[in-house]
Amino acid sequence: MRVSCVRVLLLTFAVAPLGGWPGSAEAQVRLRDFVVTLGGSAESYSGNFSAVTLPVVDSTEHASAAVGEVAIRGTITLLRTQERSLQISFDGGMRQAAAFGFEVRDYAPREFVGSLSPQFTAALGSWGSLSLRGRYRGRSLEDRPPMPLFLQPGYSMLQGGVGVVTRSFDGISFDAQLDVEEADYRALELVPQLDLLDRKSAGVEAGIRWGTSSTIRVYGGARWAEYPKQGSFDPDDPFRRDRTARVGVEWTYVGDLFVQVGVDGTMNRSNGDRPEYDAVSGRAVLTAPLPAGFSLNAFAVLTTKSYLHETDDARLVPGEEADNASIAYLQVGRSLASNLDGAVRLGWTRAETNFGQAYYERFGVSVRANYRPLRR
């Protein structure tokens, strides 16, 4: 992979105007879907890491945290017509935690996250649409605690992609997309191995969908990744390269409620033994109205993962474990005013740490409010 994602992002803006803006274009810049979120949560972490975290003397088997967060998100529309649209979505936020239960001291991790996502969409005659997408994601973390309070490290990530979706032909539509990605992780003074995360990757996915209010989509894809700072221990092929295949099926129903259920399988192969694994994930999403103006949102993804090779040095890099996490949450919300809603969420996560087959669990309860200042 020698294509830089920076070039793809630039191409997103360079190619978009080539068709020429129509004279009737609604070119007025608009800010829409602008939301300010305030929230707080109580979280509990657990895991047995005494054998794998010896370099970190302040690790423990149980930890807790009180967290406050503030975030914003929205979309800036630069162009919207029947044939073309150009918009930029953004979000950003800060989470401040007070963590307890460690042996030497308490920690106060502070996370800053943000993303910027331009997208250009154009009709392809009467049979489909084309989209060009770019995305920048950034993350910064201060005072990262040891296990089991697992937090991903800071990174900068650039993505770019192109996708095609066809109209329905006798109830069947097709979609395909290609994307490239470049990730740069920020190594910490005490964790220099985080530099091993840096990668370049490219992927392709194609799917077929049929149905109207109740639809079924079958899809498959492949991904190629290079890790220029990770060795493969093969003198003829010295740097790590992964090849990943993924297939799946999902059913979606849209009516008085929204339901989506899916299952997919992932097979990762590498020129190094350690990263090779197979994984299967089941996923379910539900959004439904409740009495007295309340609403229910539920989400769950359960993953099982097995490595092909058992190794003594089964150290993972953050990002690999998150791709195979099990996550579930249940949220009940209600509109409090015309531009304000609130929600209570219960959440659970089980995922690998920096070490293969060493898992941590997180339980949390949170309260949050979403304020839409532009809504009247």
For 286-342, the pLDDT digits (tens) are: 999 999 999 999 999 999 888 787 665 555 544 454 467 899 999 999 999 999 999
Render pLDDT for 86-126 as a digit per residue (tens, 0 to 9).
999 999 999 999 998 887 788 899 999 999 999 999 999 88
Q: Comparing C-alpha atoms, which of 147, 142, 232 is closest to residue 196? A: 232
What are the structure tokens assigned to 291, written together?
């009495």
Gap between the Cα atoms of 282 and 61, Å rounded: 28
Q: How is residue 125 annotated by DSSP?
A: T
Measured between alpha carbons, how far is 264 from 219 in angstroms, rounded to an integer? 9
In the chain, what percentage of residues exceed pLDDT 70?
Answer: 81
Q: Give the residue from 240, 242, 137, 243 showing the smallest Cα distance to 196.
A: 240
Alpha helices in the chain (DSSP H): 5-15
Neighbours of 225 (CB within 10 A): 20
Global pTM reads: 0.80
Number of H helices, E strands in the chain: 1, 16
